[in-house]
Amino acid sequence: MLILLPPSEGKTQRRRGRTLDLATLSFPELTQMRAAVIDRVGELSRGPDAHRRLMVSPRLVEEVARNTRLLTAATAPAGEVYSGVLYGALDLPSLDAAAKRRANRRIVILTAMFGALRPTDRIPAYRLHPCVHLPDLGEATQAWRPVLAPVLEQEARARRVIVDCRSGTYVSMWKPKGALAERRVLITVPGASHMAKHTRGLVARHLVESAARPRHPEDLVEILADAFDVRITEPERPGHPWQLAASPRP
């Protein structure tokens, strides 16, 4: 099983720790692109109109300043740096040892700064909207697509089912095609964005706590049924994902 997650806007910055070492991150094929993005983001963040070009409020001065120190700031595991609603529900630190190992094998986080990460990859806190235009590279999501595609296709081929907990722009960074598209399951949640993020985090947690290895999208129903009300819908046409609506039980 491959579980695709977005990053979170909220991030926790460690005060002490090792600095960023791109050579230690998962998916080393992305190293050159990561270095280029870090360089361009630093360039934008030092400019007088940094907040406008980075699409953030002028009040977020310190978060923009972080982008100028990416190579010298302390790092922490990505699963701990990302501190938004989804990651609060996923709560990686509280998993038992076996579930943590499964989480690191199964979860891939799509991010505008680093492309793709495992939860244990050590990164600094940063601020980068996926639609920011990077000098010489273009919009971040579009710049990553041709680089991510072969890496994630190879990763997905080794997995029976692709569970997609992303939404919005991060879905556009990579969409499985061909036979891989037939194994993609998009997790949908009725209601507001906050609840959707929370529920996707709970779904991801449940799937890494389970030792089950689904071979078909419909197998997810049995895995999740003890904690969620679920309904799975077949793709409308070839190339489109299965859709699994999930609501946590009280």
The model's pTM is 0.96
Which are the contacts of 21, defined by CB distance < 8 A and separation ≥ 6?
122
Cα–Cα distance, 142 to 52 (Å, whole number):
20
Where do the structural domains in the chain lie, given as residue ranges? 2-248
pLDDT at 230: 96
Question: What is the block-wise mean pLDDT of the chain (250 residues), using blocks of 10 residues?
Answer: 96 92 98 98 93 88 92 97 96 97 98 98 96 96 97 94 93 93 93 87 98 96 96 92 93
**φ/ψ of residue 181, rounded to 5:** -60, -30
Cα–Cα distance, 197 to 214 (Å, whole number):
23
Which are the contacts of 14, defined by CB distance < 8 A and separation ≥ 6?
73, 74, 75, 76, 81, 124, 125
pLDDT at 58: 83
